[in-house]
Amino acid sequence: METAMIDEKIKTKFGAAVIQALTDFARTGIPDPAKMDTKWFEHIHDTTVREAVCDTFYGARWHYKTGLALLVDKRERYAHVRAQVIDYASICETLLVEMIIHGVDKAKLSKQQYQFIDFQQTKSLSWRKSIRTTAEKQTFAWYIRVAQEEGVIDAKLATDLEGLRTLRNTVHITERAKKSNAYSLQVSDDAFKVMQRTINQTKSWFNRNK
């Protein structure tokens, strides 16, 4: 009986040590969300949104590092990469929304698409009420179109964001069935780079249009 209790304690301590080692590895190299405020996302002025973006970024990198730590493969890797792609796409989408909100609020938008809901530009969009509420009701595709037209992002990034947006749609099971090989490690790396470019280009535009 005593031997069994000792064995159980050893197993518990060993398990705790393994979990701690995995946690320490996963946390290594991931920026502190508090530091992202001034390094990555300081051009998002809404504090609540900025904090949410920082937390989402941290979570995406956590998924990446835990995937490496656990050496996941096939279905497990798919799940880890899929979560990363969805988070990276969400961060990109939010950055575009925030720049458009800033642009409308400061009268920095001068083209046509932001004034219309549809791409045929037949349905006018009213910004007279809440700018944020109006902006947040639009689609990712719309944000990309407006951001490119207004020079917030360049044409190459707009194309890559369209690809990321399409890939994110595999969150729907029917789309996932059509793209069974959609989430590889290369896809995760590409999505991360698209997010980095989105951060850089939106920050550059914001600094020119304060």
Q: Tell me what pLDDT residue 81 has.
A: 76
Is 201 part of any domain?
yes
Is 109 part of any domain?
yes
Residue 173 clears pLDDT 50, i.e. is over it: no
Is 52 part of any domain?
no
**Tens digit of pLDDT for each residue in 7-34?**
454 445 444 544 454 455 445 555 666 6
H/E stretch holding 179 reads: none
Is 8 part of any domain?
no
With cut-offs at 50, 70 and 90, classify the pLDDT of residue 171: low
Predicted TM-score (pTM) of the model is 0.79
Is 69 part of any domain?
no
The size of the chain, in residues, is 210
DSSP label at residue 112? S
What count of Cα atoms within 13 Å lies in the side-chain half-sphere of residue 20? Answer: 6
Is 182 part of any domain?
yes
With cut-offs at 50, 70 and 90, classify the pLDDT of residue 82: confident
Is 151 part of any domain?
yes
**What is the rounded CA–CA span in Å between residue 101 and residue 57?**
21
Domains in the chain: how many in total? 1
Domain residue limits at 102 = 75-208
**Tens digit of pLDDT for each residue in 192-204?**
999 999 999 999 9
Residue 108 clears pLDDT 60, i.e. is over it: yes
Q: Tell me what pLDDT residue 63 has.
A: 62
Rounded mean pLDDT of the chain?
A: 80
Q: Is 154 helix (H, G, I), strand (E, B) or coil?
A: coil
CA angle 23, 26, 30 (to 5 degrees): 130
Is 195 part of any domain?
yes
Tokens 């899929």 map to which residue?
A: 82
CA angle 80, 81, 84 (to 5 degrees): 95
